[in-house]
Amino acid sequence: MRKMLAIISNVLRGSASRNGARVVVSARTYADFTPQASFDIKKCDLYKLEEGPPLQAVLTREEGLQYYRTMQIIRRMELKSDILYKQRAIRGFCHLYDGEEACAVGIEAAIKRSDHLITSYRSHGYTYTRGGTVREIMAELTGRRGGIAKGKGGSMHMYTKNFYGGNGIVGAQVPLGAGVAFSCKYLGTKDLCVCIYGDGAANQGQIFETYNMASLWKLPCIFVCENNKYAMGTSIERGASSTDYYKRGEFIPGLRVDGMDVLCVREATKFAAEHCRSGKGPILMELQTYRFHGHSMTDPGVSYRTREEVHDMRSKSDPITLLKDRMVSNNMVSVEELKEIDVEVKKEVEDAAEFATTDPEPPLEELCNNIFYNEPPMEVRGTSPWIKFKSVS
């Protein structure tokens, strides 16, 4: 058997050529890899909790490959969006998510598809993990008919089933998320709502009002503060008297989590979800993360932090590199297999970008469609009484 595998390996590693370049094909089979491994993860800081998530996480090979591919899709999609923005194919506000991929992927790995999620304007990654396609997201960014919101939402307003955006007003999604959690409790579905906001929004009054209501009614809501250390260009130390965001709920228990580790985020979210589903009410998670881009595409990101700081975070805390190193060092995957995934991801994003720049824009007559759900067609006044549009649900 070994001799036969050796012969096959030599054949596969022969002088195959594609486009003039030598191709090396790995002959390793699924049986050669470790199917499952346990990893130590960072202990979460706890508030009003006697115990927290486990200090070890079990990862299967299939899960690892899925997480790696999803994070690479988000990373490559955001980097391509950067290019398209600079080419003026994408206009207006555009907030990129590269560096924070472990948050979106870890949360999604721990909740159900029937659960609900709402976030801020930095929403591209969550749109993808909640079921949107790269093609739909890229086309929405360029304002095309094939976009996930038919080209009328843009970067900040994307939606899928059980995903409520993408909200442009800072902090406004938090009370909306509590409303979704209220509907889960009222209808008795045993589902929950993950409500995500940033460290800048954490100082908003409406968030504290929502904490109070959610606690009183024991709503199944996971409040998630994505602490990327800067509220636009203001560091958390300059903008908050207390940077212990996981304690901000006061009467709501909280966790502070390593948001650069997808396994740490996954285990913490599982713990939080079980807390909510058991009827104990809301819980607060602070995910300590970092964005590699500036606040938005108009922010170079180096006027309030140094290039050295960004480089240090990229080199030491990249969530994709952390997962890759874990899997390779534990013989769960080969470097060649990950490179193949990288090639597939790049092609998928490039094809989506091509579609996003060639698909037609939505026609003007559809401008006022979908104002109301399931209503008869109605007339909508334009910028003057003489301009009329028709709205179709």
C-beta separation of 124 from 158 below 8 A: yes
Going by C-beta distance under 8 Å and a sequence separation of 6 or more, which residues neighbour residue 217? 182, 185, 281
Which pTM was predicted?
Answer: 0.90
- Span 197-249, pLDDT tens digits: 999 999 999 999 999 999 999 999 999 999 999 999 999 999 999 999 999 99
The pLDDT of residue 373 is 87
Burial, 43: exposed, middle or buried (Cβ in 10 Å; 0-12, 13-18, 19+)?
middle
The pLDDT of residue 383 is 87
Of 209, 208, 206, 204, residue with least CA distance to 239? 204
pLDDT band at 32 (very low <50, low <70, confident <90, very high): confident
DSSP, res 284: E
Average pLDDT over residues 81-98: 96
The pLDDT of residue 16 is 39
pLDDT band at 11 (very low <50, low <70, confident <90, very high): very low
Average pLDDT over residues 25-49: 86
Which neighbouring-strand residues pair with 224?
196, 285
The pLDDT of residue 3 is 41
The pLDDT of residue 4 is 43
Helix (H, G, I), strand (E, B) or coil at 332: coil
Quick one: the chain helix, strand, coil %, rounded to 5? Answer: 40, 15, 45
The pLDDT of residue 27 is 52
Residue 389, pLDDT above cutoff 60: yes
Residue 28, pLDDT above cutoff 70: no
Average pLDDT over residues 362-389: 89
- The full set of domains in the chain, from first to last, is 52-362 (3.40.50.970), 365-392 (no CATH)
